[in-house]
Structure 1
Amino acid sequence: MGSFKGHVLPGSLFLVVGVWHVWSAVARYVAAPPGEFRVRVWNPMGSGRLKHLELYVVAAGAFADMCVELLYSTHLKFFVGREGILNPSHMNDFEHGGMLLMFFIYGVVALLSEKTRYLPFSNGALCLIAAAAFCAEYLLFYFHSTSHQGLEGYYHLLLVILVGLCIASTVAGALCPNSFAVDLTSGIAISLQGLWFYQTAFTLYGPMMPKGCHLSGNDITCESHDSQIRGEFIANIQLFSLVFLVVIFVLGCYSVAASKYGHSELLNWHTAALQEDDQNEGDQELVAH
């Protein structure tokens, strides 16, 4: 079982990083001469003090959320009984904390690799470390101690699929270091994961609960099987809408980036394509007359 804030906080982190990754991948692609594009697991913000801002956001955000899960949510009641057994009522918080620890480690390792000479990892190695963090998240949601059933389980199943896409695209970044499609897919997958956290929060713990289903105590219950199926259909539509939204965002980014940063060969190709379209339209008008 989760909560509204418990989904919005990590969703904000993934969404910010994913949107920045999409824009950076597109901007680097249109600016890079043919054959010189390189996949990046993280993207610098300029060359000044804010260059490593993305990594600071990942490390600080994961650490802050981890503190919420392990310190605030548990009220420091880690163990119960004289034998010091791990508190079973907070296993959900411990698991979330472990997942966030992996993202914190990735952020710290990437910062040390970029700013010091103690951990000189290549971009491909950092891709695999990031993939390990996503793998920890995947295993958490797939083998969760909290049994997600019914409509809640369906929303978490779709989340697991998106996390799997993050793993695949991040590993592919290490294997195909020159692929723009791989880099862009990684940003899209991270953005969709963040948006789906938001969608889950507003649907299961907010005002968008499907008709016939409701939050009862710590469980999402539906009045009938038909109500649950209807809720799952709505979830499919919601996911499609988010995919459509992200695709529109990518096209907008490409249009803006190409006009601002596009290299001369790209701009010449675009101009030639427009002239060819105009010529074809002119020829069709002559044939019509």
Structure 2
Amino acid sequence: MGSFPGHVLPGTLFFVVGMWHIWCSIVRYVSDPKSFRVRVWNPVSGFEGRFKYLELYVIAVGGFIDLCIEFLYSTHLKIFVHGVLNPSHMNNFEHSGMLLMFFIFGVITLLSEKTRYLPLPEGALCLIASAAFTAEYLLFYFHSTTHKGLEGYYHFILVVLIGLCILSTIAGTLMPTSFPVDLCSGIAIALQGLWFYQTAFTLYGSMIPDGCRRRESEVTCHSTEHEIRGELLANFQLFVSVFGVLVFVSGACIYNEQRFRHSNITNAEE
């Protein structure tokens, strides 16, 4: 997604969903460890159930909006040229395919949870989610847009994070009672969202490393030393992202442990 908005929009979706998944996973485990089960999505409690399926709507609607931007707006409706797909917008078509998979996941999960027409177990939903992440992985690995140099390094890290999302969702099917697996899934999704943001600000925003610049459709560096310095900066940015997410995880664990412990003590006294 060779633009600043093209990275920020999916980054926002992944980050919000990932952080929500982390929080809900910790809450469910701390409140009742014995009955803990892996969930591919988490309902919003309270509000008389009006926002129960908010996460799924965010995935489906957000994916659909981004799909329309990539397939319709970015291509200026010039989809076919001389009877074939417009070669100038192949990257937009590829992104559309990825977003279509997440849209399908959101719709199928909504049908499974809200209707009787498509009842699926949680393990099957995990496999559908892993299929969406796999489509995303293949997109960035076999991208028609050749990523070289510093830009290629940022996208390589993104591919690694997507791979972690695939592994954690598949593991959720194989180990449906594992808290670490469920937590790792949320962490991987949140990190993917953060890395979309980092890529947007570094390659398409104001944080581009010294000695490098964006020229037309690619990032170029003045020398190999500047490119290596940019890659080292990327490593540090990844470390900061991982550290920040783990701080949130630790804080959420401590907060919910104290909250539910206090609640249990109060109930016991009553």
**TM superposition score normalised by structure 2:** 0.95
Instruction: Determine the structure 2 residue equivalent to 1:77.
Output: 78
| Counterpart check, 1:13 vs 2:4 | no
Partner of 2:216: 217
Q: Distance in 2 between matches of 1:185 and 1:2?
A: 28
Give 3-state SS (helix, strand or coil) of 1:145's partner: coil
Rounded to whole Å, the distance in 2 between the matches of 1:131 and 1:112 is 18
User: Does the 8 Å CA contact 1:31/1:263 hold for their aligned counterparts?
Assistant: no
How far does residue 85 in structure 1 lie from its aligned partner after superposition?
Answer: 1.2
Structure 2: segments with no counterpart, 5+ residues: 266-270
Partner Cα distance (1:133, 1:97) in 2: 12
Partner of 2:131: 132
1:36: Cα distance to partner?
A: 1.5
Q: Give the 3 Å change call, closer, same or farther, for CA 262–161 of structure 1 in structure 2.
A: farther
On the 8 A contact 1:30/1:263 being kept in 2, the answer is no
What is the DSSP-based 3-state SS (H/G/I as helix, E as strand, rest coil) of the residue aligned with 1:136? helix
Give the alignment of 1:55-70 within 5 angstroms.
Answer: 55-70=56-71
CA distance in 2, matches of 1:135, 1:248: 28
**Secondary structure in structure 1 of the residue aligned to 2:35:** coil
Within 5 A, what are the aligned runs for 1:180-195?
A: 180-195=179-194
Per the alignment, in what secondary structure is the counterpart of residue 35 of structure 1?
helix
After TM superposition, list the pairs within 5 Å mapping 1:1-289 onto structure 2: 2-32=2-32, 34-46=33-45, 48-81=49-82, 84-262=83-261
One-letter code aligned to 1:28: R
State the 1:261 CA deviation. 2.8
Bigger Rg, structure 1 or 2: 1
Residue 46 of structure 1 aligns with an amino acid whose one-letter code is S
Task: Tell me the distance in 1 between the aligned counterparts of 2:220 and 2:13.
Answer: 29
Q: Report the secondary structure of 1:38's partner residue.
A: coil
Q: Is contact 1:69–1:93 with CA below 8 Å preserved after alignment?
A: yes
Superimposed CA distance per residue, residues 224-243 of structure 1 (whole angstroms, 9 cap, x where no aligned partner)? 01111110000000000100
Counterpart residue type for residue 23 of structure 2: W
Q: Is the 8 A contact 1:213 1:227 kept in 2?
A: yes
**One-letter code of the match for 2:137?**
Y
Task: Specify the SS of the correspondent of 1:215.
Answer: strand
SS in 2 for 1:76: coil
CA distance in 2: counterparts of 1:158 and 1:108, whole angstroms? 29
Mapped contact 1:99–1:133 kept (Cα < 8 A) = yes
Matched letter for residue 63 of structure 2: A
Q: Distance in 2 between matches of 1:167 and 1:232?
A: 25
CA 259–86 in structure 1, closer or farther in 2 if over 3 Å, else same: same
Alpha-carbon offset, residue 264 of structure 1: 7.7
Amino acid at match of 2:252: C
1:184-226 deviations in whole A, cap 9, x for unaligned?
0000000000000000000001111011100011110000011
> In 2, distance between residues paired with 1:43 and 1:23?
10
1:78-115, CA deviations, whole angstroms, 9 ceiling, x for partnerless residues? 1112xx01100000000000000000000000000000
Go from structure 1 to structure 2 and tell me whether the alpha carbon gap of 1:95 and 1:10 turns closer, same or farther (over 3 Å shift). same
Q: CA deviation at 1:168?
A: 0.2
Measured against aligned partners, the alpha-carbon deviations of 1:243-265 in whole angstroms (never above 9, x if no partner) come to: 00000000111111112234988
Identity %, equivalent residues: 67
Provide the aligned C-alpha RMSD in A: 1.3
d(CA) in 2 for partners of 1:129, 1:92: 24
Structure 2 counterpart SS, 1:258: helix
Write the letter of the residue equivalent to 2:14: F
Asked if the contact 1:138/1:160 (under 8 Å) is kept, the reply is yes
Deviation (angstroms), 1:35 = 2.5
TM-score, scaled to structure 1: 0.89
Alpha-carbon distance in 2 for matches of 1:257, 1:130: 28
